[in-house]
Structure 1
Amino acid sequence: MPERVFNAERFHTERRRKGLRQPAAAESLGVSPNQVSRYERGLLQPPPEKLPAAARLVGLTLDELAPRYGLPDLRDLRCDAGMQQRDTQTVIGTKSAVSVSAAEKGLRRLNPDFVVPLAEAYGVSVEELEAAQERSFGNPVPDVRRDALSSGDAPGAPQSLAEKITYLLAQTYAAGSRPTDAELARKGNAKVGGIVLSEDLVRRLRTGETDSDDAAVLRALAAAMDAPPVYFTSDSPEEAARIVAGIRTVALGVMAARGAGEDPLNDEWLDFIASSIQSIIGDQGGGSQSA
């Protein structure tokens, strides 16, 4: 399942901008103030079904607060609607959510009579729900949304510079152990051999407060994050999608080899990921310079 990537700093910034204190936010979300504090420090991810409420609370869309870089399965659609499994019982008129649970796990498909009411409850078309069900069973199905089909965009590909930075951080580092903006600036500058990035610039680029098409800045960002420079410089959604697929494939393979729950990736592993991605996508624009 392609998890949504919760933007902890943006949630914190927007909450404070609205003058909303942590206890009030916690009460609205049905969690403790300590949990909200951990959300904002990147130490804990909000449950996916609480993300819609969190976005509404701070006046953002769900995709603005927690973008997903991939296509949804059945569980994703339910969580995006802010529903828990037990909430679906009243939707489909059953005494338990066993049928929904089984479909989400790819064990047994939904009763056809449940498809329309669930699609309506989730706020999607029947075609979208059926496509999501196929993904729950491990069958790759392209995006069936009318707007996605007409736009020609590559589904699941981060588009803006801020989205690309957020995606790489989420895919490469465990929550709570991601490098700070200052660390990224230092690493990028060291690898390109000059002062190009600053802590403030990285923060503003990462949060979408500002954008940049400066080639030197993009090269330094790529070097800081051990990514192919073309990832930041290409305007092609298809190219971004191909690089995203390479990053995901290699990163998941590394995580599986190292074992879940271990320490964050060190420089040796990051260099391996970068070189492996280059071998997958080909050398288009050159790799980041060695330190």
Structure 2
Amino acid sequence: MPERVFQAPKFREAIRASGLTQTAVGAHPVNLGESVISRYSTGGVTPPPEKLAALAERVGLPLDVLAPRRGLPDLKDLRCDAGLKQADTTPYTKSRSAMPVRAAENGMRRLKEEFETPLAEAYGVSVEELRAAQERSFGNEVPDVHRPAARRPTAPGTPQTLAEKITHLLEQTYAEQERPSDAELAAAGNAKSGGRPILDEDLVRALRTGAETSDNATLLGALAAALDAPLVFFTSDSPEEAARIVAGIRSVQSGVRAARHGDGPLPPEWMDFIEQKIREVTGGQDGSGT
């Protein structure tokens, strides 16, 4: 299966944006020396896959940004994304060695049924996802089995997936000639997230078109900030709430356009109106998306 591809330039930029020293980046739970972190940042050495999740968290990047993987995971991928080495799996299988996991990852012998639930919990996935990943380790093509929770029937056209929400927000809150490009959204989201390289043009395009999806709060926060939308718009499980938030955003924007004359500041009463609307559509949450 496709392994994650470590992005050394993004790692280097994220270290700079975080203000951390290379020694601090390598501290617990990364547990690597300054010289090793330096080689990672220059691209001279690629981190072992089981270190990528800890490195991503340390520098404040989503794992899919620091080391994207264009494909579905096998068993080894699940283990590495959880930050575990093969030897770390023995407490979950209650085996003397990592042989059961090693054999399954190499497509030699499937996991015993009693190993599935403990390993799934250790990897942070469902048993169904674990089984699908195991089949991929044996060379079988298995689609993504992860499914969102069942929802009540919704009105036609109500955005439900991340891609639908992005498209709906672009169409409903921007005039066609004013809609930002994928590159512009990426740049705006990064700028509003403290300059961290969270988004790039290809990732935004993949999320917008549905080629990829994500529930990473950092990534969604940057995307929400880029679109001047509350984070809850992307994180809510209720399509009806998403539609209500869009309507609220449109109300605010319409009011801004009606109240603004030239490039001057908005009147105080309209600033009060905007703050009130933001509280209404976000349920009291910060409407900045961060």
TM-score by length of structure 1 reads 0.52
3-state SS of paired residue (2:20): coil
Q: Give 1:64 deviation, angstroms.
A: 2.3
Cα distance change on mapping 1:208 and 1:161 into 2, 3 Å = farther
Structure 1: gaps (5+ residues) = 154-159, 163-206, 213-231, 241-291
Identify the residue that residue 22 of structure 1 maps to in structure 2.
22
AA aligned opposite 2:82: A
Identify the residue that residue 262 of structure 1 maps to in structure 2.
none
1:64-213 residue pairs with structure 2 within 5 A? 64-147=65-148, 151=161, 211=201
Q: 1:123-169 deviations in whole A, cap 9, x for unaligned?
A: 0011100000000000000111114998498xxxxxx968xxxxxxx
Q: 1:184-223 deviations in whole A, cap 9, x for unaligned?
A: xxxxxxxxxxxxxxxxxxxxxxx676759xxxxxxxxxxx
Cα distance change on mapping 1:120 and 1:12 into 2, 3 Å = same
Q: Give 1:49 deviation, angstroms.
A: 0.4
Identify the residue that residue 42 of structure 2 maps to in structure 1.
41
Measure the CA separation in 1 of the matches of 2:149 and 2:73: 13
| CA RMSD in angstroms, aligned pairs only | 3.0
Q: 1:217-255 deviations in whole A, cap 9, x for unaligned?
A: xxxxxxxxxxxxxxx99x8557x9xxxxxxxxxxxxxxx
Structure 2 residue 7 is matched with structure 1 residue 4: no
Cα distance change on mapping 1:19 and 1:121 into 2, 3 Å = same
Verify the 8 A CA contact 2:62 2:198 in the aligned structure 1.
no
Q: Give 1:31 deviation, angstroms.
A: 2.1
Measure the CA separation in 2 of the matches of 1:143 and 1:209: 24
Cα distance change on mapping 1:110 and 1:210 into 2, 3 Å = closer
TM-score by length of structure 2 reads 0.52
Q: Give 1:117 deviation, angstroms.
A: 0.6
Cα distance change on mapping 1:67 and 1:114 into 2, 3 Å = same
AA aligned opposite 2:4: R
Identify the residue that residue 283 of structure 2 maps to in structure 1.
none
Verify the 8 A CA contact 1:161 1:208 in the aligned structure 2.
no
Verify the 8 A CA contact 2:39 2:45 in the aligned structure 1.
yes
Cα distance change on mapping 1:126 and 1:209 into 2, 3 Å = closer
3-state SS of paired residue (2:26): helix
Measure the CA separation in 1 of the matches of 2:26 and 2:120: 29
Identify the residue that residue 203 of structure 1 maps to in structure 2.
none
Measure the CA separation in 1 of the matches of 2:99 and 2:50: 18
3-state SS of paired residue (1:146): coil
Measure the CA separation in 2 of the matches of 1:45 and 1:69: 18
Measure the CA separation in 1 of the matches of 2:103 and 2:201: 44
Sequence identity (%): 53
3-state SS of paired residue (2:90): helix
Q: Give 1:107 deviation, angstroms.
A: 0.3
AA aligned opposite 1:40: S
Cα distance change on mapping 1:20 and 1:64 into 2, 3 Å = same
AA aligned opposite 1:16: R
Verify the 8 A CA contact 1:99 1:110 in the aligned structure 2.
yes
Measure the CA separation in 2 of the matches of 1:211 and 1:35: 29
How many positions carry a matched residue from both structures? 169
Measure the CA separation in 2 of the matches of 1:58 and 1:95: 35
